[in-house]
Amino acid sequence: MYKYKSIAQVIIAAILFGSSAPISKILLGKIDPIPLAAFIYIGSGVGLLIFKIIEKYFSTNYNKEAPLGKKDIPWLLAAVFFGGVFAPIILMNSLKTTPASTASLLLNFESVATTVIAVCFFKESAGKRIWFSIIFITLAAIILSWDFSNQWGLSIGAIGVITACVSWGMDNNFTGKISLKDPFSIVIIKGIGAGSFSLILAIILKSSFPSIGVIVEAMILGCFSYGLSIVLFVLALRELGSARTSALFGTSPFIGALVSFVLCGDKISLTFVMGFPLMVIGTVLLLKENHEHKHLHKAITHEHKHNHIDGHHGHVHDEKVDKDIYHSHVHTHDIIEHSHPHTPDSHHKHVHN
């Protein structure tokens, strides 16, 4: 059975991220692509850093998340490069020649890329229902990006958007490897690090810089559409795994298209009407998946945020801790074999025969 809180988190993340393409398209009339990518990511990092500082002084649960460790650095650096530097620069350049609604819909390939990478390279399990879900979502994306008025073909801009999706698919899987650690720290480092790199690149390439007002607009967009969106995405990764989280996140292109209709004046096309039910079918198939079988948990020692009511954390503390209180510390899982409904979360990465 799915963790419905995680489903809500990834859907909100999809709404925030889906709105970014049409809004970025509008901003591209005032700022060059590379500086825009830089300020969006700097905004995501700085915005969440301010939130963490406020949380430190006003929240009683400030230290409940596990900190990043040395073993997490390679995964984080890979995620920063592919998801924070390469993908957004390619996307912003592609948006210059691609309609906002088309770009938003093509972003759906991120979920497909994430799932294929998760299953083929990281051995994440995915049953028939998951694959049918991905097929329906992919068919919807193909229909929505099809141009019936001219000879079909993919433009350079469309290829750029798809390339960005593949890069974000790699980023999602790398981030999944460290999703048990503090998601705010991940996004702060990722945002400020990637944004600073892009900013230096923009200066080297002598890109023109806009007014302070446009920079603030880009940073606000980054704070919500990238920063908060990624935090929610990482939280969902913990419970749902890369393939399922990204499949749900695949609804963001439709959200982006709807925003494009409102902000950019795009008209609702026949392809949108044809593709929408396929997207709905794919999403429903995913939500109704029931995954349960006998499986073995190997012994492991790690650190992450947890409580003692989920069936996997029965360890004893020196001091009394309420079962439903979340906390973080290094703990050991003993070998256990049992059967219950589950998803490919951090404790269920086993491979099926």
pLDDT tens by residue, 117-154: 888 887 776 677 778 877 887 787 677 666 555 545 55
Domain check: are 195 and 312 in the same one?
Answer: no
Do 172 and 309 lie in a common domain?
no
pLDDT tens per residue, range 172-193: 899 888 878 888 888 899 899 9
Q: Is residue 353 part of a domain?
A: no
Structural domain tally of the chain? Answer: 2
Half-sphere exposure of 10 (CA within 13 A, CB side): 27
Q: What is the pLDDT of residue 54?
A: 83
**Terminal CA-to-CA distance of the chain, rounded, Å?**
21
Whole-number Å distance between alpha carbons of 185 and 172: 16
Taking alpha carbons only, the member of 179, 181, 192 closest to residue 50 is 192
- Say if residue 273 is in the same domain as residue 330: no
Domain boundary among 293, 309, 344: 293
Q: Identify the pLDDT of residue 273.
A: 79
Burial category of 64 from C-beta neighbours within 10 Å (exposed 0-12, middle 13-18, buried 19 and up): middle
Do residues 219 and 241 share a domain?
A: yes
For the chain, list residues with pLDDT below 50.
1-2, 151, 293, 295, 306, 340-342, 347-348, 350-353
In the prediction, which pLDDT does 340 show? 44
Nearest to 249 by CA among 101, 106, 111: 111
345 within a domain of the structure (yes/no): no
**pTM score, two decimals?**
0.67
Nearest to 114 by CA among 285, 252, 246, 249: 246
* 198 and 219 part of one domain: yes
| Residue 352, domain member (yes or no) | no
Q: Evaluate whether residue 342 is within a structural domain.
A: no
Rounded distance between C-alpha atoms, residue 216 and residue 239, angstroms: 34
Q: Do 41 and 125 belong together in one domain?
A: yes
Half-sphere exposure of 150 (CA within 13 A, CB side): 5
Q: What residues make up the domain containing 323?
A: 299-334
- Per the prediction, the chain carries an average pLDDT of 77
